[in-house]
Amino acid sequence: MQALLTTLLFVAPGWVRDWITHEKQPNVFWSEYIVWPLIQIVIVVIVVLTLVAYLTYLERKVSALIQARLGPMRVGPWGLLQPLADGIKLLIKEDIVPIKADRAVFLVAPIISLVAAMVVLAVIPWGAAWATIANVNIGLLFILAVSSVGVLGLVLAGWSSNSKYSLLGALRSSAQMVSYEIGMGLSIIGALMFARTLSMSGIIDAQQTDSLWGLGYFLYQPLGVLVYLTSALGETNRAPFDLPEAESELVAGYHTEYSGFRWALFFMAEYSSMIVTAAVAVTVFFGGWYFPGLGLVKNPTLFVLLSIVIFGAKIAVLLYAYMWFRWTWPRYRYDQLMELGWKWMIPAGLANIVLTGVFYVLALPKAQGGLLGFMHEEKGRLIPTKLGILYFIVTGFVVTIPIVWGLLTTINRRSRDFNLHEQRQLQVNLRRERLEKMLQQGAGTQPAEGGQ
């Protein structure tokens, strides 16, 4: 009897215990872990959804301006209400489920995609102190893990539609996403060696002490940044890697059969994963919500508000870069895309880890077996000295990049597929040889090859 009571009391919530014992305990649980996060989450969801809507508007505006057009101008001033109009249009559109589709999977797939893209927003440090929703030990791993689940949503969508275009598009995009996921994972390891934590807030704190004026690890890890940004483009299926949505070949890729708001869910997932990859890049490489001079602000509320603004501004710059890339570079061919992922990004990521490891060990304090002693211990953390900062920047830019570039060009020297110029030259040379042979055989004899 007593055992049963014990068990029951273990399961009972705090207020039941308070009621039984008539003793009010200071309980921060509800305010700290339920109510405040709930407010934050609602704000973040609303802001991100608005941002997603306006990203589509920006995408059209930026593309229009790049192509010397005006873009949407009809709905509201400068077309500012266009996203709203689009949203209403999508809401009242018919939601079609094809006859031959696997109904349950077809209905669930976009929800999986969207949930995987949205949940990671919980661990992103939107700002200092109270602006972060959840700070967990495995923050970065959590983001990588949950966003990799998004691939499943798209494979399932392609399979369940029972349409050839959908299936091919899904296969292509999932193969592309998993290929670039590896490059993405490898590229951030170098920064982690400096940060020594997977917690997102922890990484930002580490950058403030470790890097030059708290600017970020991109100074130490230029190659890591390059690999990360390239892989992020591939991972989010953005141009120039937008093969799954190559309209000219595959209609619309994995969401060919989707219509109405269910299609919009895929769209939202895509754009919010764009925001997430930009936010991770900002957190890991560009100093997060910190910017030199922010420490001068003494008012804590103003400090946090400014930190949120800085974080948003950094993300906005990266998002603009995404759109800029889209209208600057032509689309890759699928074999080139896979080649870039497997033969350039992965070796570059691995070489970056090895070189960073070597340089790091050399810079350790002499007591710990380092040769140069460019680091000293402060509050239980190893921090590079002034000379150490210079050393890491120089090794990053002047040593790592040339070495890795040399390595990559050496191992890829035989890949003619990747180099379009080379490929064209090959055709030109072949043609020239054939023509010369024909000329040598003389004008009188009939050329063996026709006009092939």
Residue 198 engages another protein in binding (rule: CB under 8 A): yes
Of 119 and 321, the one with the shorter C-beta distance to another protein is 119
Does position 178 bind another protein by CB under 8 A?
Answer: yes
H or E stretch at 175? helix 164-195
Terminal-residue alpha carbon distance, the chain: 94
1 scored as a contact of another protein (CB under 8 A): no
Rounded to whole angstroms, how far apart are CA atoms 176 and 241?
A: 9
Contact 135, 115 (CB under 8 A): no
Q: What is the DSSP string of 316-343?
A: HHHHHHHHHHHTTSPPPPHHHHHHIIII
Using CB under 8 A, which of 84, 308, 364, 393 touches another protein?
Answer: 364
In order of 294, 448, 449, the CA distances from 452 in angstroms are: 68, 10, 7
CA dihedral for 59, 62, 66, 69, sign (positive or negative): positive
Q: Does residue 353 belong to the site contacting another protein (CB under 8 A)?
A: yes
Find the angle CA(39)-CA(42)-CA(46) to the nearest 5 degrees.
145
Q: Which stretch binds another protein (CB under 8 A): 276-284, 308-316, 321-329, 336-344?
A: 336-344
User: Is the CB of 62 or the CB of 206 nearer to another protein?
Assistant: 206
Q: How far is CA 17 from the centre of its chain?
A: 46
Give the integer Cα–Cα distance in Å for 306 and 289.
Answer: 8
Is residue 352 near another protein by the rule CB under 8 A? no
**Bridge pairing between strands 381-384 and 375-378:** antiparallel
Largest CA distance in the chain: 115
Separation CA 217–CA 197 (nearest Å): 14
How far apart, in whole angstroms, are the C-alpha atoms of residue 255 and residue 262? 9
Is 182 a binding residue for another protein by CB under 8 A? The answer is yes
Least CB distance to another protein at residue 242 (A): 17
Q: For CA atoms 180, 183, 185, 188, give the dihedral sign.
A: negative
Examine residue 47 and tell whether it contacts another protein (CB under 8 A): no
Residues 233-292 that bind another protein (CB under 8 A): 251, 256-257, 260-262, 265
Q: Which stretch binds another protein (CB under 8 A): 50-58, 65-73, 197-205, 219-227?
A: 197-205
Quick one: which of 157, 220, 339, 396 contacts another protein (CB under 8 A)? 339
Q: Does 167 bind another protein (CB under 8 A)?
A: yes
Q: Which is nearer to another protein, 262 or 326 (CB)?
A: 262
Report residue 45 CA to chain centroid gap: 18
Q: Is 33 in the site for another protein (CB under 8 A)?
A: yes
Rule CB under 8 A: say whether 142 interacts with another protein: yes
Q: What x/- string results for residues 102 through 121 when contact with another protein is judged by CB under 8 A?
A: x-xx--x-xx--xx--xx-x
Mask for 381-420, x = binds another protein (CB under 8 A) = -x----------------------------------x---
Part of the chain binding another protein (CB under 8 A), chosen from 38-46, 63-71, 229-237, 429-437: 38-46
Which of 1, 21, 24, 450 is in the footprint of another protein by CB under 8 A?
21
Cβ closer to another protein: 97 or 294?
A: 97
